[in-house]
């Protein structure tokens, strides 16, 4: 349904990431070599198409994307005169990014938004793999393993910077604010994850707050980007407030389902199939949904959570207790509930192929194995 747009995605992202510094250029583009799932850009494109027939906001003046969306960026920087890696030797080649010709109900600004979401996501993966000491990503050695932590972190920063410039070029203050907030949310989610529970205790006891803390963290770490970029897609299309809110709710619920499935796959799928380390969460001291549900009926897990599975044998014991419990089934059931809520959120959208695509994405989220 959005194949025409998706065909140009990776090429355009690589154009946005060009640097005249050869090492930076290599590290920044490293995770674009292996094809990712491109879930976030696909959702933005589908949402853009699905909302193109929705009622317009009274503020909408029929204006299309800003005229300068594709023009080179670097000349605005005063530093371009002294930066050997920018304008003259290697302009940020927005002018060379390409899009399908002919009729499309996806605006250039919405296509650029799709690229921006993938840039922010990839930046977060570069940083995440450093934090998680990951050795593989997308079936290849992780960037931190290949180039070292320093270059991986700096490359992540570079991606965020290029995403920010592209965002500014959309000339939409509300969309800029949304995506800037996503970046803060990613960091907030990671900080919440550094602790398994709201309070730092040696032997924490399971309460309803345990699950709400986890869900809040999950929203910040995963669902914020998906929900706010779906909202931004609807805003760029000039749709009315009801449609904008529905797009947000779809993304929020789908994002929560997506991360719940991710946390389940960490227990159930091999590293070879995932293309990244499996069983990594317990090793990292992280208690995710399957364990939290198992803990509800088995207080023994509390002391393991309290010491972040740090004593020899803890990881194996916790894994065994989770697999013996109904934690994985409960996680799946919750993911299903969120996927259904995502589908209901967009029930008022006019029927279209793209709306069907959004519904299918909700089912695919539940069925995915990587
Ligand atoms: C993957 O989770 C990581 C994220 C969804 C977000 C990571 C966010 C940061 C590191 C914050 C700072 C970064 C930026 C760019 C602001 P995971 O480790 O559970 O999944 P994995 O199995 O794919 O590694
Ligand atoms: Mg990780
Ligand atoms: Mg992580």
pLDDT of 102: 58
φ, ψ dihedrals at 133, nearest 5°? 50, 40
CA distance 51 to 219: 23
CA–CA distance, 355 with 365 (Å, rounded to integer): 16
Q: Among 37, 116, 124, say which to mutate for ligand 1: greatest number of ligand atoms within 8 Å of CB.
A: 124
pLDDT confidence of residue 86:
60
Give tens-digit pLDDT for 65-99. 665 676 554 534 445 556 677 643 344 444 557 66
* 95 CA to centre of ligand 1 in angstroms: 31
Specify the higher pLDDT residue, 46 or 77.
46
Q: What is the pLDDT of residue 350?
A: 95
Can you give the pLDDT at residue 89? 39
Query: pLDDT confidence of 190, banded at 50, 70, 90?
Result: very high
Taking alpha carbons only, the member of 109, 127, 107 closest to residue 117 is 109
- Helix, strand, or coil (residue 16): helix
pLDDT digits (tens, 9 = 90+) for 252-278: 999 999 999 999 999 999 888 888 888
Residue 81 CA, ligand 1 centroid: distance in Å: 35
Atom number, ligand 1, closest to the C-alpha of residue 225: 5
DSSP designation for 31: G
Instruction: Decide: helix, strand or coil at residue 239.
Output: strand
Atom of ligand 1 nearest to the CA of 222: 5
Residue of 134, 165, 147, 157 lying closest to 71 (CA atoms): 165
For 126-141, the pLDDT digits (tens) are: 999 999 999 999 999 9
Q: CA 128, 277, 152 angle in degrees (round to 5)?
A: 30
Q: Are 175 and 236 in contact (CB under 8 A)?
A: yes
pLDDT at 217 exceeding the cut of 50? yes
What pTM was computed for the model?
0.92
Task: Quote the DSSP letter at residue 219.
Answer: I
Under a CB-based contact definition with an 8 Å cutoff, are residues 35 and 118 in contact? no
CA 6 to ligand 2 centroid distance, Å = 25
Residues having CB within 6 Å of any atom of ligand 1: 123-124, 127-128, 131-132, 134, 156, 160, 183, 186-187, 190, 221-222, 276
Atom of ligand 1 nearest to the CA of 131: 10
- pLDDT score for 90: 44
First CA to last CA across the chain, in angstroms?
A: 22
Q: Please, which residues have CB within 8 angstroms of residue 101's CB and are 6 or more apart in sequence?
A: none
Q: How far, in Å, from the CA of 266 to the mean position of ligand 3?
A: 12
pLDDT reading at 337 higher than 70: yes
Write out the E strands in the chain. 136-137, 140-141
Q: What is the CA radius of gyration of the chain?
A: 21
CA 194 to chain CA centroid, nearest Å: 19
Lowest mean pLDDT among 44-48, 57-61, 320-324: 57-61
Neighbours of 23 (CB within 10 A): 12
Atom of ligand 1 nearest to the CA of 129: 24
Q: What is the value of ipTM here, to two decimals?
A: 0.98
Collapsing DSSP to helix, strand or coil, 141 comes out as strand
For 17, phi and psi rounded to 5 degrees?
A: -100, 10
Predicted pLDDT at 167: 97
The one-character DSSP state at 76 is G
d(CA 270, ligand 1 centre) in Å = 20
Residue 134 Cα, ligand 2 centroid: separation in angstroms?
Answer: 7
Give, using CA atoms, the residue closest to atom 12 of ligand 1: 187
* Cα gap 259→257, rounded to integer Å: 6
Residue 132 Cα: closest atom of ligand 1: 18
Residue nearest to atom 11 of ligand 1 (CA): 187
Among 177, 129, 101, 179, CA closest to 27: 129
Q: Which of 40, 120, 128, 287 maximizes ligand 1 atoms within 8 Å of its Cβ, making it the mutation to test the pocket?
A: 128
Average pLDDT of span 132-152: 96
CA of 264 to the centre of ligand 3 (A): 14
pLDDT at 258: 97
User: Rounded to whole angstroms, how far apart are CA atoms 23 and 214?
Assistant: 38
Report the distance separating Cα 259 and Cα 40, nearest Å. Answer: 13
Most confident of 70-84, 198-212, 270-284, 324-338: 324-338
Q: Give the number of the atom of ligand 1 that is nearest the alpha carbon of residue 160.
A: 15
**Mean pLDDT score, 340-364:** 97
Per-residue confidence at 64, pLDDT binned at 50, 70, 90? Answer: low
Half-sphere exposure of 125 (CA within 13 A, CB side): 21
CB 57 within 8 A of CB 246: no
Ligand that comes closest to the CA of residue 288: 1
Take atom 13 of ligand 1 and give the residue whose Cα is closest.
124
Distance in Å, CA 351 to ligand 1 centroid? 35
Ligand 3 centroid from CA 131, angstroms: 7
Percent of the chain at pLDDT > 70 equals: 89
Angle of helix 353-367 relative to helix 241-268, nearest 10 degrees, comes to 20
Give CA–CA dist 264/339, Å, rounded: 15
Crossing angle for the helix pair 108-131 and 149-168, to the nearest 10 degrees: 160
**Which among 131, 162, 182, 186 is the best mutation to test ligand 1's pocket, defined by most ligand atoms within 8 Å of the CB?**
186
């Amino acid at each position: 349904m959005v194949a025409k747009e998706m065909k140009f995605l990776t090429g355009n992202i690589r154009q946005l990431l060009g640097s005249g510094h050869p090492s930076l250029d290599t590290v920044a583009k490293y995770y674009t070599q292996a094809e990712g799932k491109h879930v976030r850009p696909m959702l933005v494109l589908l949402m853009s198409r699905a909302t193109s027939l929705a009622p317009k906001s009274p503020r909408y003046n029929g204006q299309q994307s800003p005229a300068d969306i594709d023009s080179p960026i670097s000349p605005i920087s005063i530093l371009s005169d002294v930066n050997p890696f920018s304008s003259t030797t290697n302009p940020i080649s927005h002018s060379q990014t390409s899009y399908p010709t002919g009729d499309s109900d996806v605006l250039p600004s919405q296509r650029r938004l799709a690229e921006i979401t993938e840039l922010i996501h990839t930046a977060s993966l570069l940083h995440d793999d450093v934090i998680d000491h990951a050795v593989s990503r997308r079936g290849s050695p992780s960037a931190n393993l290949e180039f070292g932590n320093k270059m991986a972190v700096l490359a992540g920063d570079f991606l965020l910077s290029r995403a920010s410039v592209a965002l500014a070029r959309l000339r939409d203050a509300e969309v800029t604010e949304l995506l800037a907030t996503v970046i803060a949310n990613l960091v907030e989610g990671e900080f919440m994850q550094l602790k398994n529970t709201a309070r730092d205790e040696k032997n924490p006891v399971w309460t309803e707050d345990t699950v709400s803390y986890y869900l809040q963290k999950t929203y910040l770490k995963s669902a914020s980007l998906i929900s706010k970029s779906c909202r931004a897609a609807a805003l760029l299309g000039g749709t009315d407030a009801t449609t904008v809110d529905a797009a947000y709710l779809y993304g929020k619920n789908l994002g929560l389902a997506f991360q719940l499935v991710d946390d389940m796959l960490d227990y159930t799928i091999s590293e070879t199939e995932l293309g990244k380390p499996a069983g990594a969460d317990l090793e990292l001291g992280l208690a995710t949904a399957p364990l939290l549900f198992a803990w509800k009926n088995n207080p023994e897990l509390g002391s393991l959570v309290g010491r972040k599975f740090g004593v020899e044998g803890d990881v194996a014991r916790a894994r065994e207790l989770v697999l013996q419990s109904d934690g994985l089934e409960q996680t799946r059931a919750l993911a299903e509930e969120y996927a259904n809520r995502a589908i209901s959120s967009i029930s008022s959208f006019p029927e279209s192929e793209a709306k069907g695509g959004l519904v299918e994405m909700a089912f695919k989220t539940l069925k995915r194995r990587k």
